[in-house]
Amino acid sequence: MPARTSLPLSDLELDALTELVNIGVSRAATSLRDMVGKQVTLSVPRIDLLSCVEAARTISEKEGNALVGVHQSFEGDLTGRALLIFPEANSLELVRAVTGGDLPLEDIVSLEQEALAETGNIILNNCLSTIANMLNRSFKISLPQIVHGTGATIFDLSGCEEGKDAVLFLYIDFNVMERDIRGYITMLMDLPALTSLQKLLQEFIRRTTGEQSGA
């Protein structure tokens, strides 16, 4: 695991970011739970500063190369990308779970793209809008795009080189209980966005802690 000290954020700023992501993803898990009718368990969030190659490798190493991602970018006071990623083998099971499970296979297959986009849209919007609200900011969130392939394809990192292009990589893994569905919610932010992020985090910390920010 890369050293946390490589992040240009203070411990408290990093803590604030982790907590924001935790709250955003927890809300998203609550909406996923309502869609699939089964409890969704979450890991503790992990935040690393990685090269784009390492970010793609982190996901591919865990899950192999057959992945599906729902990708949405956000821009405004903060710019980055959010992805819902899971193994390709889980894709139909997820669609089956969100559509209620009574549909014949051919219907599930024909609904796959649409259902994935809608599911991703609800989960990622829930996560991003929670974070935006807590930061007192609004983000413009793009429409969902479905991407199939390796970690590198999903992160659209075709032009990235080893050791270059550091990204702030946040991820949480989730599991749907009693269903064979698991995946990741990840956010990627480029380094220039980190300066804006840091300012927003500082404001957030001041608002949250009131007078005792120096404590």
Residues that bind other proteins (CB under 8 A): 11-12, 15-16, 18-19, 22-24, 26-27, 29-30, 33, 39-40, 42, 44, 130, 134, 205, 208-210, 212, 215
Contacts of 161 (CB under 8 A, 6+ apart): 53
Rounded CA gap, 155 and 171, in Å? 13
CB nearer other proteins, residue 70 or residue 172 = 172
Name the minimum Å distance from CB 72 to other proteins.
20
Asked if 16 contacts 204 with a C-beta cutoff of 8 angstroms, the reply is yes
Q: If residue 16 lies in a helix (H) or strand (E), which one and from where to where? A: helix 11-36
Name the minimum Å distance from CB 9 to other proteins.
12
Name the minimum Å distance from CB 82 to other proteins.
17
- 83 vs 107, 205, 208, CA distance in Å? 25, 26, 28
CB nearer other proteins, residue 97 or residue 157 = 97
Token code pair at residue 102: 């009574």
**SS3 call for 77:** coil
Name the minimum Å distance from CB 201 to other proteins.
9
CB nearer other proteins, residue 45 or residue 69 = 45
Name the minimum Å distance from CB 42 to other proteins.
6
CB nearer other proteins, residue 16 or residue 166 = 16
CB nearer other proteins, residue 143 or residue 215 = 215
Return the number of other C-beta atoms located less than 10 Å from residue 130's C-beta.
Answer: 18
